Amino acid sequence: MFSDFYNRAAKLTSQGKPFAIATVVRVEGSSSARRGSKAIIDSDGKLVTGWVGGGCAESAVKSEALKCIEMERPQLVTLDMRDEHLGVGMPCGGKMEVFIEPVLPKPDLLIVGHGRIAEALATLGHLMGFNITVNDPAADSSSFPHASRLVTQDFDLTETPVGPKTFVVIATQHKRDHLWLQKALEGNAAYVALVASRHRARLVLDYLAATGCPAEKLSSVCAPAGLDLGAATPEEIALSIVSQMVALRRSGTVVSLSLKQSDLATQSSVADALIQHCESKG
């Protein structure tokens, strides 16, 4: 049974299909599933294989699995089967905790261009778990050893599709960058960045606006690309761009962790002072 389970998981992974693994980690009272029971749920909410209980429990796990896949985050779910109204819909007499972990294909990073910034982007993107594609006539495997795909001939920009899960960084050195921006925006890419000076970026965005590109789409373009790290070298510029991508993907606040800790300490000090004040007023 377990070999079939993991074979199914491996097959879905090799196909690049998202899915979730649900594991029963705790059971109280009556339940048809036991601790350690597992199931695979695909991105359509279908139970591919495994078992986490019947009827009410399975339906609830499927629903929560879809949420985890969408949010790209694991979750511990408590299913109360003792209450028909407040639980999962059937008074089975038990309670169950299920850990749901999404298994997702690597996000795609499309790097358009070559040079030291593009090379550093590919290296850092690979380390961050992105599937790397490089599109440029001058790209070669020695410069981009971590790229899963190199596209060196793409005159009509059709060899590298862009979709809602694609991260696109355009470092063309001003060769057809407006065409790549248009393609990325039309594909509703998850992230679109243009490596250029502020002046050059403004020229390109104004040009696209004049051709009828919607303002809301243009406002989503990161141009100039990256976070303000004070980057000076190509490697530092690449770091600022990849940092921005990670922040977007993980819903980060892009706030210094030390500042966050300082805020927490300040809040704690204020709370302690208020408590002491209230106690003194007795």
Q: Domain boundary at 85, 103, 121, which?
A: 103
Q: Do 140 and 99 share a domain, yes or no?
A: no
Band of pLDDT at residue 1, cut at 50, 70 and 90: low
Q: Do 112 and 244 share a domain, yes or no?
A: yes
157 part of a folded domain: yes
What are 19-40's pLDDT values in tens digits?
999 999 998 877 778 899 999 9
Q: Do 121 and 214 share a domain, yes or no?
A: yes
Q: Domain boundary at 50, 68, 103, which?
A: 103
Q: Do 112 and 138 share a domain, yes or no?
A: yes
Distance between CA atoms of residues 103 and 214, nearest Å? 35
126 part of a folded domain: yes
257 part of a folded domain: no
Q: List the domain range (segments joined by +) for residue 50.
A: 2-103
Q: Domain boundary at 83, 103, 123, which?
A: 103
Q: Do 131 and 68 share a domain, yes or no?
A: no
Q: Tokens 């970026």: give the residue.
A: 201
- For 183-205, what is the mean pLDDT? 94
273 part of a folded domain: no
DSSP 106: P
DSSP 43: T
- Give the residue from 85, 96, 84, 82 showing the smallest Cα distance to 28: 96
Q: Do 45 and 112 share a domain, yes or no?
A: no
Q: Do 116 and 82 share a domain, yes or no?
A: no
User: Tokens in use for 219?
Assistant: 């406002």
Give the strand pairing for 149-151 and 108-112. Answer: unpaired
Q: Do 160 and 70 share a domain, yes or no?
A: no
Q: Do 77 and 119 share a domain, yes or no?
A: no
Give the strand pairing for 166-170 and 191-194. Answer: parallel
141 part of a folded domain: yes
280 part of a folded domain: no
Q: Do 95 and 152 share a domain, yes or no?
A: no
Q: Do 91 and 182 share a domain, yes or no?
A: no
The fraction of the chain above a pLDDT of 70, given in percent, is: 87
Q: Tokens 């005159």: give the residue.
A: 155
Q: Name beta bridge partners: 81.
A: none
How many domains are there within the chain? 2
Distance between CA atoms of residues 146 and 132, nearest Å? 7
pLDDT score for 86 = 39
59 part of a folded domain: yes
H or E segment to which residue 24 belongs: strand 19-29
pLDDT at 279 over 70: no
**Identity at 107, one-letter amino acid code:** P
Q: Tokens 């028909």: give the residue.
A: 84
CATH number at residue 192: 3.40.50.720
pTM of the predicted structure, to 2 decimals: 0.79
237 part of a folded domain: yes
pLDDT at 263 over 80: no
Angle between helices 234-249 and 116-127 (to 10 degrees): 40
Q: Pick the residue with more confidence: 258 or 62? A: 62
Contact 134, 157 (CB under 8 A): no
Q: Do 71 and 153 share a domain, yes or no?
A: no
